[in-house]
Chain A
Amino acid sequence: MNILALDSSGAVASVAISCDGRIRGEYSINHKLTHSETLMPMVNELIRRTEYETDKTSVIAVAAGPGSFTGLRIGAAAAKGMAFALGCDIVPVPTLEGLCYQLTEYPGLICPLMDARRAQVYSGVYRFESGKLKTVFAGEALALEEQLGRLKELDSDVMFLGDGVDVHMEAIKEHMGDHCLMAPEHRRYQNAACVAKRAEEMLAEGVAAVKAEDFAPEYLRRSQAERERDERIAAEKA
């Protein structure tokens, strides 16, 4: 099983190659948001350096959302183009689940937080049980306070990670007190090796890969125009 994995959902651009369960190479850059210029050259460089035979790719795994709308589409469209040419399927890996794979050995609750602007975060709550990722609260766009409120009721240590940690560090500490743990900086952000690992696990669990033509990101949020139109229609009805 050969997996080419991509994550361009946030500030980090990351690509990885996994061959038969072993990460053959991983390449991440956390410097400027120029994914459209950097992602494909990174793929090219990694493939060349690892002597990877691109046409032996079994599936392409890609961070499918949530995340920056544009960032998600840069990864999604690149994956769809490569999958078209290679005739392979795509494994859409939820970004928040991919993030959790930075902390597979941590036994407690894991809360990835991604800044979603508009006073919200993209977040879910997970834990690893016997090496398997279990969902406690599914990923969604919600107010930070709402997520922290739910976590407080669980009265348990929580490990936070994701770029939302950088933005909301003080609020998280204040809310969670002694129950608050932060992933170290070098394991806090999206990483394509984690995406590849999550994809392997998903396939092992029986989650089917999707046809390249059917794959689209899971934004977890509609466009502003759609939201405003629905609000207008609702207001007119009322």
Chain B
Amino acid sequence: MSDIKILAIESSCDETAASVVVNGRDMLSNVISSQIDIHTLYGGVVPEIASRKHTERINRVVDKALKDAGLALKDVDAVAVTYGPGLVGALLVGVSFAKGLAFAAGKPLIGVHHIEGHICANFIQFKELEPPFPCLIVSGGHTTLARVKDYGEYEILGRSCDDSAGEAFDKVARAIGLGYPGGPKIDALSNEGDPEAIPFPRAKVDGSDYDFSFSGLKSAVLNYLNSCNLKNEEVNTADVAASFQKAVVDVLVEHSMLALEKGGEKRFAIAGGVAANRHLRAAFEAACAERGVEFFCPAPVLCTDNAAMIGAAAYFEYIKGVRHGLDLNAVPALRLGERM
């Protein structure tokens, strides 16, 4: 079979991205236009502004992805686009653009699940990686522990019942005056703090070994800061950051290792924006090494929202014959493994 080249588009949150991926494994280009500077002014992503910026930027991003790949639109075999989950207005820009593009170019269209994309970033980074394996997806909007049973086949083991890990990072960062985005800032500050300094809680969710809850942890941090304030005690923000981060990472590692033990796989992967967190990577590396499990984690540029991962996921749909019609809609609450 000849090579399958997919032009992929991603606009589910605040990154406008496009990429060309060959056979789901080789990335010929990976263009990401971030809006983070704009949203930082507002302390978080503003959906309406994100949607407007996507509309302004999408043609240039797609054009650059094709040019970087050294291809013309006629050379690609299909157009792929993220259609959920995410911000509906932001998703609609990518979906509407991709439909117009695919229609006018006479190319097949493939809608892709954003989280499946994150998982598939591992297939680009590690050419030898094959299912089955459990995977933890941690990002600004999502915390999901899933079993990748086969290409395009997923079983959700656990999810966050409230805040995603990324949201908890953002909220705690705001509370200790670090600002947005919280993840990288807490990661950096924790280097100077003692992760055992403050005993923040590790929450269990009743009736589930795998579900996560981070809102209690977030409240515990806020209460701690309040009580220091009332007692006129100076807060060591580096200790708070390090202890909070350790509490998040401990829970993520514990649930993931339990999934490995029950499933018996010898491979484990992480994905998503928060997977770029250095402490989290280190903790998973250690936990997997201890168990003789091979650990996979994409490079930071493939952890953040990008379109290469969408092109990878789309390939495995493409070879199964999945095609979407021109009535493809954005589905903001699309579940992992769900197909529309």
Task: Please report the C-alpha to C-alpha distance between residue A86 and residue B101 in the assembled complex, in whole angstroms.
Answer: 9
Residue of A nearest to B57 (CB): A213
Contact indicator A81/B104 (Cβ below 8 Å): yes
Among A38, A39, A81, A217: residue with most chain B CB under 10 A: A81
What's the tally of chain B residues with a CB closer than 8 Å to chain A?
Answer: 38
B219 at the interface (CB under 8 A from A): no
Task: Please report the C-alpha to C-alpha distance between residue A125 and residue B93 in the assembled complex, in whole angstroms.
Answer: 31
A77 at the interface (CB under 8 A from B): yes
Instruction: Pick the residue among A36, A75, A79, A226 that contacts B330 (CB under 8 A).
Output: A36
Q: B224-277: which have CB < 8 Å to A?
A: none
With contacts A41-B327, A213-B60, A225-B46 taken as known, whether A36 is within 8 angstroms of B52 at the C-beta atoms is no
A154 at the interface (CB under 8 A from B): no
- By secondary structure, the B interface counts as helix
With contacts A41-B325, A213-B59 taken as known, whether A36 is within 8 angstroms of B104 at the C-beta atoms is no
With contacts A81-B100, A81-B104, A216-B52 taken as known, whether A41 is within 8 angstroms of B326 at the C-beta atoms is yes
Point out the residues of chain A lying under 8 angstroms from B56, CB to CB.
216
Contact indicator A217/B55 (Cβ below 8 Å): yes
A130 at the interface (CB under 8 A from B): no
Contact indicator A54/B58 (Cβ below 8 Å): no
Q: What does the 1/0 interface line of A23-41 toward B look like (CB < 8 Å)?
A: 0000000000010111111
Task: Please report the C-alpha to C-alpha distance between residue A217 and residue B326 in the assembled complex, in whole angstroms.
Answer: 22
With contacts A37-B329, A81-B97, A229-B41 taken as known, whether A73 is within 8 angstroms of B103 at the C-beta atoms is no
Q: What does the 1/0 interface line of B90-134 toward A look like (CB < 8 Å)?
A: 001111111111111100000000000000000000000000000
Interface footprint category on A: 35 or more
- By secondary structure, the A interface counts as helix
Q: What does the 1/0 interface line of B319-340 toward A look like (CB < 8 Å)?
A: 0000001111110000000000
A159 at the interface (CB under 8 A from B): no
Least Cβ–Cβ distance between B181 and chain A, in angstroms = 17
Task: Please report the C-alpha to C-alpha distance between residue A8 and residue B335 in the assembled complex, in whole angstroms.
Answer: 29
Contact indicator B96/A225 (Cβ below 8 Å): no
Contact indicator B89/A226 (Cβ below 8 Å): no
Q: What does the 1/0 interface line of A42-82 toward B look like (CB < 8 Å)?
A: 01100000000010000000000000011001111111111
Residue of B nearest to A225 (CB): B46
Point out the residues of chain B lying under 8 angstroms from A43, CB to CB.
103, 326
B188 at the interface (CB under 8 A from A): no
Task: Please report the C-alpha to C-alpha distance between residue A98 and residue B55 in the assembled complex, in whole angstroms.
Answer: 22
Residue of A nearest to B105 (CB): A85
Tell me how many residue pairs across A and B have CB atoms closer than 8 Å.
117
Task: Please report the C-alpha to C-alpha distance between residue A225 and residue B103 in the assembled complex, in whole angstroms.
Answer: 35
Contact indicator B92/A84 (Cβ below 8 Å): no
B77 at the interface (CB under 8 A from A): no
Among A41, A76, A77, A216: residue with most chain B CB under 10 A: A77
Task: Please report the C-alpha to C-alpha distance between residue A139 and residue B73 in the assembled complex, in whole angstroms.
Answer: 38
With contacts A38-B327, A77-B92, A85-B105 taken as known, whether A216 is within 8 angstroms of B55 at the C-beta atoms is yes
Instruction: Pick the residue among A34, A38, A39, A80 that contacts B58 (CB under 8 A).
Output: A80
B26 at the interface (CB under 8 A from A): no
Task: Please report the C-alpha to C-alpha distance between residue A149 and residue B63 in the assembled complex, in whole angstroms.
Answer: 48
Contact indicator A69/B48 (Cβ below 8 Å): yes
A172 at the interface (CB under 8 A from B): no
Task: Please report the C-alpha to C-alpha distance between residue A213 and residue B101 in the assembled complex, in whole angstroms.
Answer: 13
Contact indicator B326/A40 (Cβ below 8 Å): yes
Point out the residues of chain B lying under 8 angstroms from A80, CB to CB.
55, 58-59, 97, 100
Contact indicator B92/A36 (Cβ below 8 Å): yes
Residue of B nearest to A212 (CB): B59
Point out the residues of chain A lying under 8 angstroms from B96, CB to CB.
36, 39-40, 73-78, 81
Task: Please report the C-alpha to C-alpha distance between residue A70 and residue B48 in the assembled complex, in whole angstroms.
Answer: 9
Q: B48-70: which have CB < 8 Å to A?
A: 48-49, 51-52, 54-56, 58-60, 62-63
With contacts A38-B327, A213-B63, A225-B42 taken as known, whether A79 is within 8 angstroms of B104 at the C-beta atoms is no
Instruction: Pick the residue among B46, B92, B94, B326 that contacts A223 (CB under 8 A).
Output: B46
Instruction: Pick the residue among A40, A78, A79, A212 that contacts B327 (CB under 8 A).
Output: A40
Task: Please report the C-alpha to C-alpha distance between residue A13 and residue B104 in the assembled complex, in whole angstroms.
Answer: 19
Point out the residues of chain B lying under 8 angstroms from A39, CB to CB.
96
27 contacts between A and B (CB under 8 A): A36-B95, A36-B96, A39-B96, A43-B103, A43-B326, A44-B103, A69-B89, A70-B88, A73-B51, A74-B92, A78-B96, A78-B99, A81-B97, A81-B98, A81-B102, A81-B104, A82-B100, A83-B104, A84-B59, A85-B101, A85-B104, A212-B59, A216-B52, A223-B46, A225-B46, A226-B46, A229-B41
Known interface pairs A80-B59, A81-B96; 19 further A-B residue pairs with C-beta atoms within 8 A, sorted by A's residue number: A37-B328, A37-B329, A40-B99, A41-B326, A41-B327, A54-B104, A73-B55, A73-B96, A77-B93, A77-B100, A78-B96, A78-B100, A80-B58, A81-B103, A84-B59, A84-B62, A84-B73, A219-B52, A229-B41
A-B interface, 9 closest residue pairs, ranked by CB to CB distance from nearest? A81-B100, A85-B104, A77-B96, A213-B59, A81-B101, A223-B48, A40-B326, A85-B105, A78-B100
Contact residues of A with B, CB < 8 Å? 34, 36-41, 43-44, 54, 69-70, 73-86, 212-213, 216-217, 219, 223-226, 229
